Chains A and B, each alone.
Chain A
Amino acid sequence: MDSPLGGGPGFNEQDLAKLSDRDKQELTQFVQNESQKARIQSAIHNLTDTCFRKCVTSKISSRDLDKYEQPCMQNCVDRWMDANNVIMKELQALQRN
């Protein structure tokens, strides 16, 4: 595997080659977990972007989400998930036919 970290500072390849199998396994698991975290965070960024556009439409005059914006953001996330599920189902149905 190529170094996923490019020429970043800190450690060198020789050190990595010396890792025990157990350490390597632990690292692989760690990278998988971090990748999943990164994917989730990225989804949250995209969702916040989309839902902010839809829910925060009036003049921005306070720092808190108001009583309309707050539930709108929550509904926006849930409906986005619903929509996603509908699409997945449709695609699966298409695949079967």
Chain B
Amino acid sequence: MSAYASGDPKTQVMRQIQQEAAMQNAKMLVEKLNEHCFERCVPKPSTSLSKGEETCFSNCLQKYMTAWNTVSQQYITAIQKNSSSSQF
């Protein structure tokens, strides 16, 4: 990141694109985390989050992110294998 320490318009544009991409990625992750973990951990919403629901949420967030990393590794390995046979 600091390699792009402001300066000329080219690196400015590059930096901005990277920031927006990172933001988009983070947004998507947060959306999915909420969707899955709310569904799983809060089946019947009551007047407040119970201790159990909070624990479930925290476990669920970690689990989902681990799952994301697993999928990421597996997918990238697969497309690299596939790229020789011209997929993607």
Q: Which residue numbers of A lie inside 8 Å of B, CB to CB?
A: 5, 8, 10-11, 15-16, 18-19, 23, 26-27, 30-31, 34, 37-38, 40-45, 47-49, 51-53, 55-56, 60-65, 69-70, 73-74, 76-78, 81, 85, 88
Closest to B71 in A: A48
Considering only residues 34-88 of chain B, those with a C-beta below 8 Å from chain A are 36, 40-41, 56, 58-60, 62-64, 66-68, 70-72, 74-76, 78-79, 82, 87
Residue from A27, A62, A63, A74 within 8 A of B10 (CB atoms): A27
Known: A10-B12, A45-B28, A47-B75. 9 other contacts (CB 8 A): A27-B13, A45-B68, A51-B67, A51-B71, A61-B59, A62-B63, A64-B66, A74-B70, A77-B74
Q: Which chain A residues lie closer than 8 Å to B82 at the CB level?
A: 81
Q: A40-B76, A48-B68, A85-B87 are in contact. Are A63 and B59 (CB under 8 A)?
A: yes
Enumerate chain B residues within 8 angstroms of A51, measured Cβ to Cβ: 67, 71
Question: Chain B residues in contact with chain A, CB under 8 A?
Answer: 9-10, 12-14, 16-18, 20-21, 24-25, 28-29, 32, 36, 40-41, 56, 58-60, 62-64, 66-68, 70-72, 74-76, 78-79, 82, 87
